[in-house]
Amino acid sequence: MMKNFPLTPVEGGVCAPKGFSAAGVHCGIRRNHSKPDLAILKADVRCAGAACYTTNKVYGAPITVDREHLADGHAQAIVVNSGNANTCAPNGVQLAHDVCKLAAQALGVAESDVLPASTGVIGQAMSIEPFAAGIPDAAARLEASPAGSLAAATAIMTTDTHPKQAAVEFTLSGRTCRLGAIAKGSGMIHPNMATMLLFITTDASVAPDVLQTALSAVVPATFNQISVDGDTSTNDTVILLASGLAGNAPLQPDTEDYTIFLTALTQVAEQLCRELAGDGEGATKLLECTVTHAPSLQVARDVSKSVIHSTLFKAAMFGADANWGRVLCAIGYTPGDFPIDHVSVRLKSRAGEVFVCENAAYHPYSEEEAAKVLAEKEIDILVDMGCGDAEAKAWGCDLTYDYVKINGDYRT
Amino acid sequence: MMKNFPLTPVEGGVCAPKGFSAAGVHCGIRRNHSKPDLAILKADVRCAGAACYTTNKVYGAPITVDREHLADGHAQAIVVNSGNANTCAPNGVQLAHDVCKLAAQALGVAESDVLPASTGVIGQAMSIEPFAAGIPDAAARLEASPAGSLAAATAIMTTDTHPKQAAVEFTLSGRTCRLGAIAKGSGMIHPNMATMLLFITTDASVAPDVLQTALSAVVPATFNQISVDGDTSTNDTVILLASGLAGNAPLQPDTEDYTIFLTALTQVAEQLCRELAGDGEGATKLLECTVTHAPSLQVARDVSKSVIHSTLFKAAMFGADANWGRVLCAIGYTPGDFPIDHVSVRLKSRAGEVFVCENAAYHPYSEEEAAKVLAEKEIDILVDMGCGDAEAKAWGCDLTYDYVKINGDYRT
């Protein structure tokens, strides 16, 4: 675990750091006029940029363009649409390029500094028309304010029930810095990199390679540890832009400042992980599984993810049923060779804690007490493996009737 | 694919082959008196025996005893209870031994020739009392008849909605042989070996090592290719007993007879795979994914399993929504390195066939036609990978409100 540094939560999401403005509008990709479907995030200056993408072999056309445009480590704007994933769609890469061209014109930035992103249905043709009107509209509404970030966070939502933002303030080489983010999640969430779309800004001065190193260090412990439904999306994208406008000395690896930056990034990431998992499609409960005393970091991560990914355990949590045998079962089928004889399991929430399993066997507890604990909205599953000192967390949600309802007829 | 030999489906399940009798009774492991909870399968002679077990690191106590008792390659009886998995339960192994002792006395066979099996809730103490009364009761009711097999198939059910049996007749070295089976499935089905409990009998004469080779050859292509919920059970067990009473010349590997035997075993296994998947918890539809022209057998198996395991695709099938992007997504996140550019997808049922995806992109089809195809109870998903000649099948079911209902409160 990282040291604690003074990190102050602040308002404003991606517009909290200096030099970023954002907007969200409805441009007609979705038929529903009350649902914004296009967001722009723009930086005042050319930023260092880093990204992580889905590991799915089927991936969205925007990711092809992002890889190309971020090859030089810099970017200045992000254009995101919801309602269509631009994946397995005809002429998808050309369309993503056309979107960048429109944004470059409207924003006065280089086309190769624009990063596109899309989320929505896979395999449907996307038209450039909505963008032709929507991009100038959004460009005219850009705001370097909490309202701008909120508008963008709202426009990237699909089945999310609320927009997701986070931001923190910290100090690097005596200068006040900020890091903020917006995210969308909800379904097709089992990132093998990161959840669907996540955009992070900072005004810290960080060179592209250091920025990528930091992002790549934080993603496996945070966004890769969420699962809503076990389906790794084709469009997962995390982009981190650093404007440098805070004026700190450029961040160097292996310094205390670097640790502070990693801590800030981790804190924002963990907050969004909890929000993304808790707002999983149909979810009524956030599940956080913490594994301690594991023989290795990999086992700790795999076991925690296995537990929050178990369909049977997720359904039991929906029913507030302390069926801990399903936790043991999920631990047991986690790949890898590790002992299970010393596993203990506790279920915890605001209402209390019940010790349900000791040494991989039943530990006496009150079903009444367990029902009280599991009636809460946020449930911690504490797994002590008793055979090492590695630890990890994973986040998920319960499996509900509404998940089935939402996904039984997603396209209509 | 195997050659076609004359294989005649016959009635009688595990009692179809010569020399096997079976029974099922209620003995009090379950409180509900109308639900039988104890089955016995007995052979007239000591049989060659083979088995495959769960790969879960947490596994039922009966599996420990089965491994011990099958070490010599022989067995004569199987005792199975539902209602309690005897897993992570205090003194589980001792209890499983005590069950064998009771069965040995009641059946007049050696204790080391009795194989125990259990299915039900994990982590709850099991008492020997119900067995002490139930085993003699079941022993007195043993029948070498279809009724005996049906009683046993019914007693091993948990959330299954109907008993599952299959049997075929074939000829080895001029002698008529039979192979029959009973199975239970329904939940916690994502075998990494085999589905929960499956007992197969044959009167063919097969030595233990040949029997194990045959079983180990068939399981990866059949029972390991089913998924209801992605949860690999702690109690998965397949046991195959061969009485030899058909009087054929002992089966030798690499002969035409061996191929016939494998074909019979595969046919019974595939029939039960379809029944197990189609009766998955809460299921309204059976999904069968056939992958052809894959670059390797492993890729074919993994891709077909990935498709029928996708929570999002399963929910779409419940809603009869031809959301083929989810099939592509599931193919894309299948582990392994293989090209996806030539993938085509067809959805098929008794009502017709729709060609929905060609070269990993949209292929024009009628949504009306697709809705008609998907309204049926059995849906085939045909995936042509266009890059090799390997093929495989996998079986699953849709994800429904009832799955959530059944598992939200399984223990009460």
Average pLDDT score, chain A: 88
**Could you tell me whether strands B344-349 and B286-294 are parallel, antiparallel, or unpaired per DSSP bridges?**
unpaired
pLDDT for res B123 = 81
* Mean pLDDT, range A302-319, rounded to an integer: 89
CB proximity B321 to A under 8 Å: yes
Q: What are phi and psi of A97, to 5 degrees?
A: -65, -40
pLDDT at A4 over 90: no
- Express each pLDDT in A60-90 by its tens digit: 899 999 999 999 999 999 999 998 989 888 8
CB proximity A232 to B under 8 Å: yes
Query: Of B329, B360, B362, which has the smallest distance from its Cβ to A124's Cβ?
Result: B362
CB proximity B56 to A under 8 Å: yes
Residues 381-400 of B with CB under 8 A from A: 399-400
CB A178 within 8 A of CB A10: yes
Range of weakest confidence among A46-50, A376-380, B220-224, B360-364: B220-224
User: Residues for chain A: how many in total?
Assistant: 412
User: What domains appear along chain B, each with residue ranges and CATH number?
Assistant: 8-276 (3.60.70.12), 286-408 (3.10.20.340)
Going by pLDDT thresholds of 50, 70 and 90, the confidence category of residue A409 is: low
Distance (Å, rounded) from C-alpha B63 to C-alpha B54? 9
- Express each pLDDT in A170-203 by its tens digit: 999 899 999 999 988 765 555 443 346 888 899 9
DSSP string, A357-394: EETTEE----HHHHHHHHTSSEEEEEEE-SS-SEEEEE
Q: Which residues pair with B286 in a beta bridge?
A: B378, B397
Q: Mutate one of B53, B84, B329 to test the A interface: name it (highest A CB count within 10 A).
A: B329
pLDDT for res B2 = 46
Query: Of A57, A325, A410, which has the smallest distance from its Cβ to B122's Cβ?
Result: A325
Query: Of B321, B401, B412, which has the smallest distance from its Cβ to A410's Cβ?
Result: B321
Query: Of B89, B310, B361, which has the smallest distance from its Cβ to A231's Cβ?
Result: B310
SS3 percent helix, strand, coil of chain B, rounded to 5, is 35, 30, 40
CB proximity A58 to B under 8 Å: yes
CB proximity B362 to A under 8 Å: yes
Chains A, B: CB pairs < 8 Å:
207
pLDDT for res A387 = 93
Does the beta-carbon distance from A333 to B192 stay under 8 Å? yes
Q: Which residues from A are below 8 Å from B338, CB to CB? A: 57
In Å, how far from its chain's centre is CA A230? 15
CA-to-CA dists, residue B337 to A383, A405, B221, B295, B332, angstroms? 34, 34, 21, 10, 10
Q: Mutate one of A59, A88, A235 to test the B interface: name it (highest B CB count within 10 A).
A: A88
Which helix (H) or strand (E) segment is A39 a member of?
strand A38-53
pLDDT at A217 over 90: no
A159 is catalytic: no
DSSP string, A384-410: E-SS-SEEEEEEEE---HHHHHHHHTT
pLDDT for res A233 = 65
Residues 163-192 of A with CB under 8 A from B: 187-188, 192
CB B177 within 8 A of CB B214: no
Q: Which residues from B are below 8 Å from A364, CB to CB? A: none
CB proximity A57 to B under 8 Å: yes
Positions of B marked catalytic: 195
* Mean pLDDT, range A209-238, rounded to an integer: 77
pLDDT at A314 over 80: yes
Residue A9 has a CB neighbour count (10 Å cut-off) of: 12
- Hey, CA dihedral for A101, A103, A108, A113, is it positive or negative? negative
Q: What are phi and psi of B392, to 5 degrees?
A: -160, 165
Q: Is the ipTM of this complex over 0.90?
A: no
CB within 8 Å of A382: residues ≥ 6 apart: A289, A290, A292, A345, A346, A347, A348, A353
Looking at CA atoms only, how far is residue B261 from chain A in angstroms?
A: 32
pLDDT for res A374 = 94
Looking at CA atoms only, how far is residue B244 from chain A in angstroms?
A: 36
pLDDT at A263 over 60: yes
Q: What are phi and psi of A171, to 5 degrees?
A: -120, 130
The three-point CA angle B145-B149-B152 to 5° equals 140
In Å, how far from its chain's centre is CA A48? 20
Residue B341 has a CB neighbour count (10 Å cut-off) of: 12
Q: Which residues from A are below 8 Å from B88, CB to CB? A: 325, 328, 357, 360-362
- Express each pLDDT in A86-131 by its tens digit: 988 889 999 999 999 999 999 999 999 999 999 888 888 899 999 9
CB proximity B310 to A under 8 Å: yes
Distance (Å, rounded) from C-alpha A189 to C-alpha A54? 11
Which helix (H) or strand (E) segment is B137 a member of?
helix B129-140
CA-to-CA dists, residue B378 to B209, B320, B404, angstroms? 37, 11, 21
What is the 8-class DSSP label of residue B364? -
What pTM was estimated for this model as a whole?
0.78
Instruction: Going residue by residue through chain B, which has 412 residues, state the pLDDT in tens, using 9 for 90 and above.
Output: 345 678 899 999 999 999 999 999 999 998 888 889 999 999 999 999 988 888 777 788 999 999 999 999 999 999 999 989 898 888 999 999 999 999 999 999 999 999 999 988 888 889 999 999 999 999 999 999 999 999 999 999 877 888 989 999 999 989 999 999 998 876 555 544 334 688 889 999 999 999 999 888 888 777 777 766 666 667 677 788 899 999 999 999 999 999 999 998 888 888 888 887 777 778 889 999 999 999 999 999 899 988 998 888 898 899 888 888 889 888 988 888 899 889 999 999 999 999 999 998 889 999 999 999 999 999 999 999 999 999 998 888 888 887 777 777 655 4
Q: Mutate one of B55, B56, B57, B341 to test the A interface: name it (highest A CB count within 10 A).
A: B57
* Mean pLDDT, range A145-167, rounded to an integer: 91
CB proximity B324 to A under 8 Å: yes
Distance (Å, rounded) from C-alpha B255 to C-alpha B261? 10
In chain B, which residue's Cα lies nearest the Cα of A187? Answer: B312
Looking at CA atoms only, how far is residue B212 from chain A in angstroms?
A: 24
